[in-house]
Structure formats: C-alpha cells, structure tokens
C-alpha cells in the first residue's frame, strides 16, 4: 500500500513549497527598489532580464501541479482556523497563477521593467509619444493575462482582483462616488479661503530636509534597524519596508511623502516574520496597505498636534524658512484645499478626485474603449471636469505616475479605498483611547502604532478584507467615517 502523507505533513509540505517562490518574490521586490534608487541607468536592460528570469522561476515553482494536489486534499480536511486561512489564500493565488502561461509572466516582467525606465525619461521630457508604444504593449499583455485567468469576466475586474480580492469594481465605484458627492460641497466651501502658503516654498537645503525626514519617521515609530530612507523619482516602499521620498518645490511635501511611506514600511515590518514568503506573512490587500500609509499621512501627519510638535524642530533645522511662521499657520497651510495637478501633492479632500479620474480611465483603457494615444486628451478633459483645471503638459497629467509603466492597472482605486479604511480604523482607535490626539501634541504616537499592529498588521492575510476591517473597527466597511472625518476636520480648522 503506497505511503500517504498525514494532514499535518501535507500542510507543512504545502507551506514550505509555497515559501520558496514567496521569498523569491521579496528578492524581485528588492531588485525593483534598487532599480529606482541605486541602479545605474545603463544597467536597465540587464535588470529587465533579471526581473524576467526571477518572475519566471517564481511562477514555475508556485504553479507546480503537486501544490494543486495538496490544496485539493487539504480543502476538506480538519484544520485549525489559521491553517484553513493559509490554505484558502494559497488556493486563491494558485488557481489564478496556474492559468497564466509562464512565458507571459516572464514577458510582462521584462517589458514593465524596461518600461519604467522609458517612463522616467518620458516624464522628465514631457514626451508621451516615446512612452505610448510601451504602454500599448503592456495593456495588450495585461488583457491577455486577464483572459487566461477568466475569459468570461470583464478584464479590468480580473486585474482589479489582483489588488482587492475581497471587493468588486462595482463596490469600489459605489463607495468612491459616495465620497465624491460628499466632498464637492467641502471643496466649494473652503477652496477659496485665503491661506498663507508662501513660506512652504522657502529654500531649505536637501541635506537638512533628509536629516529631519529621518527624524520624523523614527519619531512616528519607523524602525531604521529594518529599513532606510532614500530619494526616488516617485516615492514608494519596497524591499522589506525600505522607503523613499522626493524633494519638491515645497519643503512640506517631502515630509508628508516620508510619513506616507513610513506607514507602508511599518506595516511591512509588523507582518509576522514566521510566515514570511506565505500569504499570512503578506499584507491583506493594497487598500489595507494604503489605509496604513494614508492614516499616518493625513490623520496624523496633517493633525494639529503633529505640527505643534514639529514646529520647534522645523525652526531648529530649517532656520530662516520658519521666520515669522507659527504652528497655527503651519496647520492651515498643510491642510489647504486647492485643486492641483499632481496626485501625490494633492490635499486630502481633492485626492479622491484624482483617483476617480485614473479609475475611470483605467477601465476605459483595459476595456478597449480608450486607445492609448488618446489618453492625454481624455486625461485633460477629465481633469477639467473633476478638478476644474487642465494640465499644460503630460508630465503634469497622464505621465505623472509610474503605475501603468509597471503594469499596475487596478491599483489606483486602492488609494481611495484605503482612505475609507484609514478613517474607520482611526475612529475606532480614538474610541478605544479618547486621549490619543492629545498624545500627538506631546509627540507620543506609540498607542496608535500598537493599535494598528494588534488590530490589522499582525494578521497578514488571515482574514478577508471586509472581515478584517469589521474585526478591527466593529463596523462593516463604508464611507461614513471618512466623510464625517473630512467634514469635522475642515470645519474645525477653518470655521
């Protein structure tokens, strides 16, 4: 009689088989970090080959038929709650991955790696025409990928599920349109309020900015023994919570970018290391990930308490740039509502409009209703419609974000959904500790840091998105807390 593994042996084998390609994925992420932070430009072609081979090997290991056989044996077996969650998430990933040809996985990795370098030059030179052929190719590859996974479903829905497996495009549209209807009156009411922001453009040496940004990240709880802060064209987090920022016309935006990425980095650092390489060692979803960064950036990083604490540090480190500037001026300036072209620089009220613009255009591109060459005109029309402004260049418009060059169609809605989740988590944390915001004014952020770890971050993908949010906050996911937060905040600041 042939030997049959026990349930526990099956489970252990599955986890270890999955862990290897999972860890390879972290190496791939590290190569992406290096490409945008450290890599010489002349190495782009080699990096594309490396990315392609690594993605191909990872995919081949993960789609081994033996993994599928073990999944089938375990799905009806008696397992612990944690084990059932692990098998559920591995099964979801496996059944999508196994449908995609390995050659297509490798081609997508190679093309997007090269395209990111092309995009960077196109953005710098305001040259959409040089990027368009690459984007056309990426869109074609992603449509093909979506067709392999589920030929009977809308291709954008399929791609969206890579980022938000627990939500549908229809649900995302409904939630974001609820926010849109609520924020239009806020924008109308406060966008013309006169606020002095000129001092934000005073010159500050980059070395001084970088030093203070590191101090701010550490003050919030970012662990520099596990991560680091560097400079990149587009701020991002990768490679086990390594973060980047960028220096701009104003000195406050690098601070907010650093806080945003610190939120991502702290989530990565707080995922359970004993599950590294497996679903339970990964973030629940991109929206949940964004909820961590948007919470720290907006609810904390734009709060009155935070800027009261930061004010003396700014005076000490930025010198003359703070002459005549008090904490109240800072609070109003960093919370100024003013429609602008750049998403990552947008105030937190108009930010959702930037996401709705991209969300709509993505659906049209992948759905075949918008040719790639027509993207700039469509972008400008929608910018005028939603924000009341038209970018003068594509660098200020459709070339500003790296996501499409990296093949990340379906990612943008996660930013706005993350805002909703962030507000819901923040409200729950405040209910648990009504003095939390007073603690911010004393430079104390450890309570919130611990609450997020306990309620969200330590669970990895153990719970589906909606269940995770409801467990953490005691309420189903909705737009209610986010809308209330915005209405109350700006009434308090400006009225």
> Residue 252: exposed, middle, or buried by beta-carbon count in 10 A (0-12, 13-18, 19+)?
buried
**Residues with catalytic function:** 261
Each residue's pLDDT tens digit, 10-40: 999 999 999 999 999 999 999 999 999 999 9
What is the rounded CA–CA span in Å between residue 277 and residue 124? 36
How many angstroms separate the CA atoms of 323 and 326, rounded?
A: 9
- Per residue in 65-80, pLDDT tens? 999 999 999 999 999 9
Residues whose CB falls within 8 Å of the CB of residue 351, separated by 6 or more in sequence, listed in order: 343, 415, 416, 419
For residue range 271-307, list pLDDT tens digits in order: 999 999 999 999 999 999 999 999 999 999 999 999 9
Task: Show the 3-state SS of 302-349.
Answer: CCHHHHHHHHHHHHHHHHHHHCCCCHHHHHHHHCCCCCCCCHHHCCCC
pLDDT digits (tens, 9 = 90+) for 443-457: 999 999 999 999 999
Task: Per-residue pLDDT tens, the chain, 495 aa: give them.
Answer: 344 579 999 999 999 999 999 999 999 999 999 999 999 989 999 999 999 999 999 999 999 999 999 999 999 999 999 999 999 999 999 999 999 999 999 999 999 999 999 999 999 999 999 999 999 999 999 999 999 999 999 999 999 999 999 899 999 999 999 999 999 999 999 999 999 999 999 999 999 999 999 999 999 999 999 999 999 988 999 999 999 999 989 999 999 999 999 999 999 999 999 999 999 999 999 999 999 999 999 999 999 999 999 999 999 999 999 999 999 999 999 999 999 999 988 999 999 999 999 999 999 999 999 999 999 999 999 999 999 999 999 999 999 999 999 999 999 999 999 999 999 999 999 999 999 999 999 999 999 999 999 999 999 999 999 999 999 999 999 999 999 999 999 999 987
What is the residue-averaged pLDDT of the chain? 96
Q: What is the pLDDT of residue 247?
A: 94
Tell me the whole-structure pTM to 2 decimals.
Answer: 0.93
Which residue from 401, 471, 460, 429 is spatially nearest to 86, judged by alpha carbons? 460
Residue 1 has a pLDDT of: 39
CA nearest neighbour of 450 among 270, 284, 223, 296: 270
Q: What is the dihedral of CA 58, 62, 63, 65, to 10 degrees?
A: 140
Q: State the pairing for strand pair 242-245/229-231.
A: parallel
pLDDT of residue 4: 57
- Provide the pLDDT for residue 345: 87
- pLDDT of the residue at 233: 87
């Amino acid at each position: 009689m042939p030997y049959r593994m026990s349930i526990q042996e099956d489970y252990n084998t599955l986890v270890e088989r999955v862990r290897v390609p999972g860890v390879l994925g972290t190496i791939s992420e590290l190569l992406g970090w290096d490409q945008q932070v450290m890599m010489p430009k002349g190495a782009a072609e080699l990096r594309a080959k490396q990315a392609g081979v690594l993605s191909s090997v990872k995919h081949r290991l993960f789609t081994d038929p033996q993994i599928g056989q073990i999944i089938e044996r375990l799905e009806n077996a008696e397992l612990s709650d944690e084990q059932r969650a692990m098998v559920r998430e591995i099964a979801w990933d496996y059944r999508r991955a196994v449908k995609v040809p390995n050659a297509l996985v490798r081609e997508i990795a190679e093309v997007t790696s090269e395209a990111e370098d092309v995009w960077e030059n196109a953005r710098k030179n305001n040259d959409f025409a040089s990027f368009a052929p690459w984007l056309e190719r990426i869109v074609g590859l992603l449509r093909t990928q979506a067709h392999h996974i589920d030929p009977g479903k809308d291709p954008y829905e399929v791609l969206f599920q890579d980022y938000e497996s627990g939500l549908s495009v229809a649900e995302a549209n409904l939630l974001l349109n609820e926010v849109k209807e609520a924020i239009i009156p806020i924008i109308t009411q406060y966008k013309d309020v006169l606020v002095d922001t000129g001092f934000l453009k005073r010159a500050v040496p980059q070395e001084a900015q970088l030093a203070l940004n590191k101090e701010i990240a550490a003050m919030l709880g970012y662990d520099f023994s596990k991560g680091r802060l560097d400079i990149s064209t587009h701020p991002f987090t990768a490679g086990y919570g390594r973060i980047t920022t960028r220096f701009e016309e104003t000195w406050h935006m690098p601070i907010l970018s650093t806080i945003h990425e610190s939120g991502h980095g702290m989530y990565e650092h707080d995922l359970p290391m004993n599950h590294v390489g497996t679903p339970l060692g990964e973030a629940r979803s991109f929206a949940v990930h964004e909820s961590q960064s948007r919470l720290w950036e907006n609810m904390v990083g734009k709060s009155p308490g935070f800027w009261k604490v930061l004010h003396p540090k700014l005076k000490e480190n930025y010198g003359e740039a703070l002459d005549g500037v008090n904490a109240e001026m800072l609070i109003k300036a960093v919370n100024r509502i003013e429609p602008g072209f750049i998403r990552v620089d947008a105030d937190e009220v108009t930010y959702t409009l930037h996401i709705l613009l991209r969300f709509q255009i993505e659906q049209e591109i992948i759905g075949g209703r918008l040719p790639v060459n027509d993207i700039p005109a469509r972008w400008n029309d929608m910018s005028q419609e939603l924000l009341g402004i038209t970018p003068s260049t594509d660098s200020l418009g459709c070339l500003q974000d790296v996501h499409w060059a990296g093949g990340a169609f379906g990612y943008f809605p996660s930013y706005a959904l993350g805002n909703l989740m962030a507000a819901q988590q923040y409200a729950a944390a405040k209910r648990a500790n009504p003095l939390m915001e007073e603690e911010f004014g004393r430079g104390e952020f450890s309570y919130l840091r611990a609450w997020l770890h306990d309620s969200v971050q330590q669970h990895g993908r153990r719970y589906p998105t909606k269940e995770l949010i409801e467990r953490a906050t005691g309420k189903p996911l909705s737009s209610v807390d986010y809308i209330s937060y915005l209405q109350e905040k700006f009434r308090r600041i400006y009225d």
